[in-house]
Amino acid sequence: MEDFFKEEAVLVDSFDRRLRRIEDDGASILVMLQNRNSAPQSRELAYGLREVTEITGLSRSTLDKLFKEGKLHASKSGRRTLILRAELERYLQDMAE
């Protein structure tokens, strides 16, 4: 029985380390996004999906999952899917907290 608890403790520690890495990555992405948008002339109001994947490093399938889960909201302009800058910043800020 003691071995079971040791194995569980190892799994919890591993999960905790991974969670901390994800939180650190989210904070880094937020800083990167804020630095990228610091120049007033380069502050777009919205980004296309390709731009969001380049800015954040998130894959297209991850973005689709976030849309489906309601964690990130997109808008349509004709056939183009756009993510408002404020929405992307909100999501990244929530992820960093």
Residue 81 has pLDDT above 60, yes or no: yes
Read off the pLDDT of residues 45-72 as tens digits, 9 standing for 90 and up.
999 999 999 888 999 999 999 999 999 9
- Compute φ and ψ for 79, nearest 5 degrees: -90, -10
**Distance separating alpha carbons of residues 72 and 21, to the nearest angstrom:** 21
Which regions of 25-92 does DSSP assign to beta strands (E)?
A: 46-48, 75-77, 80-84
Mean pLDDT for the chain overall: 85
Distance CA 20, CA 24 (A): 6
CA distance 54 to 70: 21
In this prediction, residue 39 has a pLDDT band, given cuts at 50, 70 and 90, of very low
- Please name each of the domains of the chain with its CATH number: 2-96 (1.10.10)
52 vs 27, more confident: 52
pTM of the model: 0.56
Residue 20 has pLDDT above 90, yes or no: no
End-to-end Cα separation, the chain, in angstroms: 37
Q: Are 88 and 96 in contact (CB under 8 A)?
A: no
Q: What is the mean pLDDT of residues 36-44?
A: 59
